[in-house]
Homo-oligomer: A and B are copies of this chain.
Amino acid sequence: MQTYRRDIMAIGIKDIARLAGVSTATVSRALSHPGRVSPETRAQVMAVVEEHDYRVNSFARSLRVRRADAVLALVPNLGNPFFSEIIAGIQDGLTPAGLDLLVTDSLSQQARRQSPVTHLQAARADGLICLDGALPAGILDDLAASDVAGRVVFACEWPDGRGFPVVRSDNRAGMALAVQHLVGLGHRDFALLTGPEGNVLTRERREGAEAALAQAGLSLPPSRIAGGSFEIRDGFRAAGDLMRMPSRPTAILCSSDQLAIGCISGLSELGVRVPQDVSVVGFDDIALAAYSRPPLTTIRQDRRRLGRIAAERLLSSLSGKPLAETLTTLPVEIVVRRSTAAAPAG
């Protein structure tokens, strides 16, 4: 397909060996196992290495040691800024171990009619961190295959009942926090803006909300559930739908900050005041949450930490240590700002 090739021949280990007056074996050792070489030899070799700015050809090395020193992160959609923090966290976890990060999104994988498993099988990556919980069953089967086992961890999202290791935020507890906050403020009429149908986060957050509501003796009629994606525009649209109903909710639980911001925007357009008329709470605590108007009350999940921990889990799994726990649930907290207030009297 491609026809180019690296033009110039980079300097190789043989050149270094010749220049330093030692064997290639010694150069290799000086570089990878400095302890196994006499200090003088090492110094000698390193001098030549520095002088010529020699770099080990990573393919030759990987071919020999059967290791890529790279991890693949699979994101549902690269264009979605929500994932950037998690990716940054993954990078944080990988960097100390000297591993590289490969990134793709599910969309372009499909475009190439490839599965992320290809990368593992083709030895391009040692492991996979998957941020997409909605992979097709066929791909999940591949991922569960023995030759790939122990090289995959899910982060943030995950597929159900597959037994993969997963690192996630405590989505249920988060929604419970939101409900309790609102109930404490006197709210009784709730609505919920959900994420996409079939998404685990959608389900967990909904169930978390329903459970907490039930505990307060409240419930969520189907007519009070709207949404269908995590995106702003759907929050905007849902606000209209909700306000058009005969009995209006006084509190809206949103499954993402984007949804919440869109919702508030929609409410404003309709002349509904937040938080005087209705309170809204988000989920995620994205950077903008503190600066939207009004500043958003939301559930903070530490996405960077989530990414880092996922990377660390994968790394220890790769080095053969069995994971202490398959399911790691990170705590969340509520950040009360000004999009929530006491329920309007009446």
Q: Which residues of A contact B (CB under 8 A)?
A: 1-8, 10, 53, 55-60, 62-63, 65-70, 77-85, 87-88, 91-92, 95-105, 108, 111-112, 118-119, 121-124, 126, 146-147, 150, 232-233, 235-236, 258, 261-262, 264-265, 268, 287-288, 290-293, 295, 304, 315, 318-320
Contacts and interface: CB of A to CB of B under 8 A. Distances in A.
A103 B88 CA distance: 10
A229 to B, nearest CB: 13
A101 B98 contact: no
Nearest to A63: B59
13 contacts: A2-B67, A2-B98, A7-B150, A10-B123, A78-B84, A87-B103, A88-B105, A92-B108, A102-B103, A232-B291, A258-B288, A261-B291, A262-B291
A114 to B, nearest CB: 9
A261 B292 contact: yes
Nearest to A65: B5
Contacts of A146: 8
Contacts of A232: 287-288, 290-291
Q: Work out how many copies of this chain go into the complex.
A: 2
A113 to B, nearest CB: 11
A315 B4 CA distance: 9
Contact of A319 (B2, B150, B304, B319): B2
Contacts of A57: 63, 122-123
A4 B101 contact: no
A297 to B, nearest CB: 15
Contact of A98 (B1, B4, B287, B304): B1
A311 to B, nearest CB: 12
A62 to B, nearest CB: 4
Contact of A78 (B59, B91, B318): B91
